[in-house]
Structure 1
Amino acid sequence: MLVLVTNDKKYNMKILAIETATEACSAAISINDTCIYRYEIAPRKHSELILPMIDSLLNEANIKINSFDGIAFGRGPGAFTGVRIAISVAQGLACPHDIPLIPISTLAALAQQYSKENNYIATAIDARMNEIYWGLYKKSNKNIMKAIIKEKVCLPQDITSPSKNNWLGVGSGWQNYSEEIKSKFKSNIIGIKNDTYPDAKSILELAKIDYQESKFISPEKASPVYLRDNVATKKRG
């Protein structure tokens, strides 16, 4: 049975984070605001790498799975197989100990990585089939990136564009479709970071806030966010 967070947990939480939705595979642990992590760009090897990464972190931190207050995971959007791996691993670790899960948007995590560089982040992850996963984020007074539009999958020329402010473009979608996105972007673009992927450290940052606000779920309720309604029928790129 899940319990609500009490005040003594607010600054003394232990959270494990997993992110496997893109080409990068990563895991991170936060204990009393100290973070250790593992990260590797290894397309199609996530299922081989993620559990050894977690075991390595547990050994380094000298902690057991049943000691965690929550397990966070990148719930998508992203590669269908990668998103499923994160959910399966999170559920497998959490279920025996009834640890709550904290689902985090991979687009939000990508934006959070650059929260210290700009107040406005436009994230685009290559979704294959000539589409991108698209999100717009604004930094809150807690230095947390908050979505200002509903995340979507779309053609680059069909993005939802902001009408003001200076924006930093982040993600693989900017690498492959920068000209198409720029042609529809109505605001100033101050820079582009197109060779970066969401990582577990940023998942942790967002998960700690969600945990404090009791935004967690029981393991059996975890589900992927693909943004595409017809995942089973679309041909993968």
Structure 2
Amino acid sequence: MKILALDTSTEYCSLALWLDGDVLTKEVLAGQQHTELLLPMVQTMLAESGLALTQLDGYAFGAGPGSFTGLRIACGVVQGLAFATDLPVIGISTLEAMAQKINARHVMAALDARMGEIYFAAYRQTESGWSVVQTPVLCLPELAPRIEERVKWVGCGSGFDLYGERLSAYYGDCLVGIESGCYPHAREIAQLAVPKLLAGLGVSAEEAAPVYVRDKVALKVSER
């Protein structure tokens, strides 16, 4: 199976080309330049691999949560490519993609959501993949969902980078470590997408959609 995966949910822009188990990747710290950088990166990656879009089997993207603009960019580009090639699309949780990076069986993943809040989810690794213990939510660090305390958890993501002390105090002994510098990457999105596409869970281009979690991006003056 050949899959093109991409993620623009954070300040990083990453691509991955899954080629029957081998993975080619590209990434750049894009800041606010995802729109300008993404399609040229796709063209370069395909040229270097000697593949055309018509030789792919599907597309995957970081569906969210994350930057509103970034999620729309990734979804829009994937939709355009899928429309042109009539191939299926699968959206992958950015929080689950971070869990996929971590060498641990129980992972809490959190992204900075701005305005003092985090996007938070928790996952347990099983033989068949990641089981969702806590679905993605938007919350203050000190109001994060309570998680099963009989097992040991590892935290990751920019939410833990920013609020590690508060989250460590909140979860106590059940949080045994924090992996710093972790962010969603197209490599893990491709890995998670393969079994879903093989199982026929891909959708058409028009059905692909971001997962925002937050329903507004700024505070009113009265809320500040």
Same fold by TM-score greater than 0.5: yes
Indicate the residue corresponding to 2:42 in structure 1.
54
Indicate the residue corresponding to 1:221 in structure 2.
207
> Given that residues 167 and 187 in structure 1 are in contact (C-alpha distance below 8 angstroms), is that contact kept between their aligned partners in structure 2?
no
Using the TM superposition, give the Cα deviation of residue 37 of structure 1 relative to its aligned residue in structure 2, in angstroms. Answer: 0.8
Indicate the residue corresponding to 1:189 in structure 2.
175
Q: Match for 1:110: what amino acid?
A: M
Distance 1:37 1:174 in 2: 25
Q: Match for 2:132: what amino acid?
A: A
Using the TM superposition, give the Cα deviation of residue 131 of structure 1 relative to its aligned residue in structure 2, in angstroms. Answer: 0.4
TM-score, with length taken from structure 2: 0.93
Using the TM superposition, give the Cα deviation of residue 43 of structure 1 relative to its aligned residue in structure 2, in angstroms. Answer: 1.4
Unaligned runs of 5+ residues in structure 1 are: 1-12
Using the TM superposition, give the Cα deviation of residue 180 of structure 1 relative to its aligned residue in structure 2, in angstroms. Answer: 1.8
Q: 2:158 aligns with which of 156, 167, 172?
A: 172
Q: 2:109 aligns with which of 98, 106, 123?
A: 123
> Given that residues 173 and 194 in structure 1 are in contact (C-alpha distance below 8 angstroms), is that contact kept between their aligned partners in structure 2?
no
1:92 equivalenced with 2:68 (yes/no): no
Distance 1:225 1:79 in 2: 10
Unaligned runs of 5+ residues in structure 2 are: none
> Given that residues 164 and 187 in structure 1 are in contact (C-alpha distance below 8 angstroms), is that contact kept between their aligned partners in structure 2?
no
Using the TM superposition, give the Cα deviation of residue 195 of structure 1 relative to its aligned residue in structure 2, in angstroms. Answer: 1.2
Q: 2:19 aligns with which of 25, 31, 35?
A: 31
1:137 equivalenced with 2:127 (yes/no): no
Report SS of the residue matched to 1:92. helix
Distance 2:146 2:2 in 1: 38
CA shift in 2, pair 1:169/1:177, >3 Å: same
Distance 1:184 1:155 in 2: 11
1:83 equivalenced with 2:71 (yes/no): yes
Report SS of the residue matched to 2:135. coil
Using the TM superposition, give the Cα deviation of residue 145 of structure 1 relative to its aligned residue in structure 2, in angstroms. Answer: 2.6
> Given that residues 161 and 187 in structure 1 are in contact (C-alpha distance below 8 angstroms), is that contact kept between their aligned partners in structure 2?
no
Using the TM superposition, give the Cα deviation of residue 213 of structure 1 relative to its aligned residue in structure 2, in angstroms. Answer: 1.8
Distance 1:79 1:194 in 2: 20
CA shift in 2, pair 1:62/1:30, >3 Å: same
Using the TM superposition, give the Cα deviation of residue 126 of structure 1 relative to its aligned residue in structure 2, in angstroms. Answer: 0.2
Report SS of the residue matched to 1:148. strand
1:158 equivalenced with 2:143 (yes/no): yes
Distance 2:204 2:115 in 1: 34
Distance 1:167 1:192 in 2: 9
Distance 1:174 1:73 in 2: 23
Task: Give per-residue Cα distances to partners, 1:125-179, cap 9 Å, x unaligned.
Answer: 000010000010111114x333211210111111112222111110000111112
Q: Match for 2:175: what amino acid?
A: I
Q: Match for 1:202: what amino acid?
A: E
Task: Give per-residue Cα distances to partners, 1:29-80, cap 9 Å, x unaligned.
Answer: 0111111010112211211211121111101111111111110001110000
Distance 1:23 1:135 in 2: 20
TM-score, with length taken from structure 1: 0.88
Write 1 or 2 for the structure with the bigger share of strand: 2
Q: What is the identity percentage for the equivalent residue pairs of Structure 1 and Structure 2?
A: 39
Indicate the residue corresponding to 1:202 in structure 2.
188
C-alpha RMSD over aligned residues? 1.6
Task: Give per-residue Cα distances to partners, 1:81-140, cap 9 Å, x unaligned.
Answer: 1001100110111101111101100001011111xx110111010000100000101111
Distance 2:212 2:4 in 1: 23
Q: Match for 2:42: what amino acid?
A: I
Using the TM superposition, give the Cα deviation of residue 186 of structure 1 relative to its aligned residue in structure 2, in angstroms. Answer: 4.9
